[in-house]
Amino acid sequence: DDLLGIARDMEGKTICVFADAAAWPIQSYITKFRAEFEEHIQSGRSLGRREAAECRR
């Protein structure tokens, strides 16, 4: 939620286009992969090699 809030605060609020360019991927990643982000935060670990390989298929 904090990352989304920061990204929303950046988007469209500056004359620098880099703010929008930085905010959009964050919003997209969290929207599409929120469960994975939350799982990583709660478990305190990344995907293992086997799990990551399964994701690539």
User: Per residue in 11-57, pLDDT tens?
Assistant: 888 788 888 888 989 999 999 989 888 888 888 776 666 666 666 65
- Which domain, by its residues, includes 24? 2-56
- Only one residue has tokens 């905010």, namely 23
Report how many domains make up the chain. Answer: 1
3-state secondary structure of 41: helix
Q: What is the pTM of this model?
A: 0.59
For 7, counting Cβ atoms within 10 Å of its Cβ (0-12 exposed, 13-18 middle, 19+ buried), the class is buried
How confident is the prediction for the chain on average, in pLDDT? 81
The answer to whether the CB of 23 falls within 8 A of the CB of 8 is: yes
Three-point CA angle 7, 51, 31, nearest 5°:
20
